[in-house]
Amino acid sequence: MKIAVASGKGGTGKTTIATNLAVSLSRSGHNVRYLDCDAEEPNGHIFLKPDITESEDVTVGVPEVDQEACSGCGRCGELCQYGAITCVKGKVLLFEQLCHSCGGCMAICPEGAISEKQRKIGAAESGHSNGMYFAHGLLDTGAIQTPALIKHVKRGIVEDEKNILDVPPGTSCPVIEAIRDADYVLLATEPTPFGLNDLVLAVEMVRRLRIPFGVAINRCDIGDEEVLRYCREEDIKVLIQIPNDRKIAETYSRGEMIVDALPEYEKKFLQLYDKIKNMVKTDEK
């Protein structure tokens, strides 16, 4: 089971839900793996406080030009859609930070003057938190190849265990990479105009990818009924609602788990998992 916890926007409680779901499953005897794929701003470690035992640099391939072999034809620059390589007055200029590692410039170079070298974009760390596997990615400042780092973090997935993926906010390429091949996507939102707007975008995304999904509404009592109305009209299951509880907010601000401060929530998160499991089974039929 691979459950991705995503959101159309930041600040909806995505990590709160992902970490508490993972801990609840782990404490109930399941083999759980928590993978924080929000490589640009990971924060699951604040709550899970893992013992990091492994750290590995993550690299991507970028072009390296042999200027003596280069004829200055400019085909590489014409091909590149990201401005990572260009030819000026017969000399090739490289902007490695913009490269998306497609390899097109190497393939199109008639002189074979372009080869590949490795460029570090970040690090992947892993360890354990109270018997639960933990992994996250840390993107280097200035690096833009977030999907490559997320793909590396996802190597920690084990098919016959419960994998909880904490997904970056939004609907861009890193999100697509994080939820790719997920069995279920839980979309965290809040009952505000911004929450609804970005929920609609996220729903369109997962529907396009044909992944089963449902909604979790955080701070469910702070706004209007528009999110619930939208879910009813679109036949979207709301699987859990978390109120705007001061004790929950205080627990979060201390970097602690809801299920520790309010033990009754452990049952609610286990019920959430059961709902997801049943929906996945129904979809498979």
Could you tell me the pLDDT band of residue 284, with boundaries at 50, 70 and 90? Answer: low
How sure is the predictor about 66, in pLDDT bands with cuts at 50, 70 and 90?
A: very high
Per-residue pLDDT at 86 exceeds 70: yes
Which phi and psi angles does 143 have, rounded to 5°? -80, 145
**Token duo for residue 282:** 């129904």
Burial, 61: exposed, middle or buried (Cβ in 10 Å; 0-12, 13-18, 19+)?
A: middle
> Rounded mean pLDDT of 54-61?
96
**Residue 285: per-residue pLDDT:** 60
Q: Which residue ranges make up each domain of the chain?
A: 2-58+122-284, 67-112
The residue whose two tokens read 């590149």 is 80
Instruction: Assign 6 a pLDDT band (cuts: 50, 70, 90).
Output: very high
Angle of CA points 111, 115, 120, to nearest 5°: 155
User: Kindly report the CA angle at 278 between 273 and 284, in degrees rounded to 5?
Assistant: 125
pLDDT of residue 114: 95
CA distance 187 to 122: 27
User: Could you tell me the fold of the domain covering 2-58+122-284?
Assistant: Rossmann fold (3.40.50)
Report the C-alpha gap between 140 and 166 in whole angstroms: 19
Query: What's the CA gap between 279 and 213, in Å, rounded?
Result: 9
- What token pair was written down for 36? 């924080």
Structure tokens at 81: 């859609």
pLDDT of residue 190: 94
> Residue 132 pairs with which residues in a beta bridge?
129
> 67-112: what fold?
Alpha-Beta Plaits (3.30.70)
* pLDDT at residue 119 greater than cutoff 70: yes
pLDDT at 272 over 90: yes
Summarize the confidence of residues 198-205 as an average pLDDT.
Answer: 96
Cβ-based neighbour number of residue 19 at 10 Å: 28
Q: What average pLDDT does the structure give for the chain?
A: 94
Residue 231 confidence (pLDDT):
96
Tokens 């996220």 -> residue:
202
Number of C-beta neighbours around residue 260 at 10 A: 13
**pTM value > 0.85:** yes
